[in-house]
Amino acid sequence: MSTARPLIDSSRRRALLAARHLLSPPHRARTPEQVAGAVVALHSSDPATVFLSAAARLEHSDTAALESALYERQTLVRMHGMRHTLFVLPEELASVVQSSTTRKVAEKERRMFTAFAAGGGFSPDWLAKVERLTLAALADCEQASASRLAELVPELREAVPVAVGKPYQSTHTIGTRLLRVLGMEGEIVRGRPLGGWTSGQYRWALRAPLAELPVAEAQAELVRRWLAAYGPATAEDVRWWTGWGVREVRAALTACAAAPVRLDVGDGAGDVEGYALPEDADGATDGPEPEPWAALLPGLDPTPMGWRQRDWFLPAEHRADLFDRSGNIGPTVWWNGRIVGGWAQRADGEIVRELLEPVGAEAEAAIDAESARLAVWLGPVRVTPRFRTPLERRLSSR
């Protein structure tokens, strides 16, 4: 039996992306739960991203189906997870994310919150009382916004100055910090927003206790799911996406039996070490090329944000136009598994795009068809990305 590590080239990875991320029309999903499961988790730092990412991957999309999954059936949950980021993910994955990642972050957030409150003269006993009152208020009213909770528990309005003496000095309320900590600890969950689906002002509700899993077990399961969606990929990709340390990543890769492979990085630069699930490394990644496809994905979409090393689908010369200074990607135009441009919505609702490289008439026609599909889906809604990039700003202002 040969022990040589199989080589998986970039074109094969792009073909896998088309199917596994539900971007090729034949692979589009029927439900938002299928979408979230396919990409593991949908980015929710910008609330509009969740809906736009789902719409790009659904056969027939309307906001009501996603809102029902989030706020009525609760088959999807919004919570902090990898890299301290807010995600929407399948409810059955919540315990895995909480145990593998969020619990450790929550412990740090709790310590920082206690120190923050002490700086304002508030004791741990006082904080514990306010926390009990807040949870009791939520039990009585089922759901409430932060402002409504502050009416019910006035102590939440107490403010503490931060960065005293600095040009950016400000004040933060006890309520803002406490709700964040309780959310990370899994005590409460974000519910329906006060406004429409583009709003980030959520109501809060109590949530059922999450199962406590051993950290190593949860991390192995999360990496297994990630490799099923994003693999084959490098250990650095896993580390970046999870936000874990190198040792945790290596242990999780070993625990889920990830197989070493070689990944072609293209442009004659040779190959690098990567990992895949055993069934992928053994040749299950072989298969027909997908039909040509185009997609318009929103800023912070999970596909372009899924890897640290992006050269196999994103030319380096496009990055300055498509990312903000913090590394957040803006709205992107895709053709056959590569990012070839960006798009924006103007004030009058028109979807406009700019291609950053020649793609040919067939590609332009397919991209225009996706633009039209998105415009119909958005209707009267206007969306401005929370994290704006040079190309998006340029397009939306014309």
Higher pLDDT, 93 or 286: 93
Look-up: residue for tokens 């028109």?
Answer: 350
Strand ranges in 40-152 using DSSP code E only, listed in sequence order: 42-43, 76-80, 86-90, 143-145
How confident is the prediction for the chain on average, in pLDDT?
A: 94
CB 256 within 8 A of CB 224: yes
Closest CA to 96 of 230, 256, 284, 246: 256
- State how far the Cα of 391 lies from the Cα of 322, in Å rounded to an integer: 6
Give the per-residue pLDDT at 5: 85
Give the per-residue pLDDT at 2: 46
Give the pLDDT band (50/70/90) at residue 283: low
Give the pLDDT band (50/70/90) at residue 335: very high
Give the mean pLDDT of 182-195. Answer: 96
| Local structure of 204: helix, strand or coil | strand
pLDDT tens figures, 132-160? 999 999 999 989 999 999 999 999 999 99
pLDDT tens figures, 58-89? 999 889 999 999 999 999 999 999 999 999 99
Give the pLDDT band (50/70/90) at residue 267: low
Query: Where are the domains positioned within the chain?
Result: 314-396
pLDDT tens figures, 14-39? 999 999 999 999 999 999 999 999 99
- State how far the Cα of 285 lies from the Cα of 119, in Å rounded to an integer: 56
Closest CA to 321 of 339, 306, 338: 339
Q: Could you tell me the two tokens for 166?
A: 């600095």
Look-up: residue for tokens 């290596």?
Answer: 250
- State how far the Cα of 102 lies from the Cα of 2, in Å rounded to an integer: 41
Give the per-residue pLDDT at 359: 97
Distances (CA, A) of 6 to 70, 257, 268, 281: 41, 16, 18, 7
Compute the CA torsion angle 102, 104, 110, 116 (nearest 10 deg). Answer: -100
Give the per-residue pLDDT at 1: 40
